Amino acid sequence: MNLYMMYGYYGNWMGQSLFGGLSMVVFWVIVGFFVYWLVKNNKGKINFHSDNMNKTALEILKERYAKGEITKEEFDKIKNDLKD
């Protein structure tokens, strides 16, 4: 067996292993930074707790009527249904 082939293979294996491990660390650092950046920049835009969670059904109904999403007849009907 040729010594060059044996040591050359071993040298290449070690070089690839070192580079592969280093590139994996760099990859995860970049992924971590990207996730941190997304969370930091979208902090005010992502709202997991909706403002409607603290409102009563009647308050939501009044807002929908004020926005013009429902008519006066629909408002009165739903309001009467809510009272029951």
Give 22-77 pLDDT, tens digit per residue. 788 889 999 999 999 888 887 666 555 556 567 888 999 999 999 999 999 999 99
State the residue range of the domain holding 78: 48-84
Q: What pLDDT was estimated at residue 5?
A: 53
| 36 & 57 share domain | no
Q: Which of 30, 24, 25, 78 is nearest to 56 (CA)?
A: 78
pLDDT given for residue 17 in this prediction:
59
Tell whether 54 and 37 lie within a shared domain. no
- In contact, 37 and 43? CB cutoff 8 Å: no
Q: Tell me: do 24 and 4 sit in the same domain.
A: yes
Same-domain check for residues 42 and 56? no
Do 42 and 52 have their domain in common?
Answer: no
Cβ 31 vs Cβ 25: under 8 Å = no
Provide the number of structural domains found in the chain. Answer: 2
Indicate yes or no: pTM above 0.75: no
Q: Are residues 8 and 37 in the same domain?
A: yes
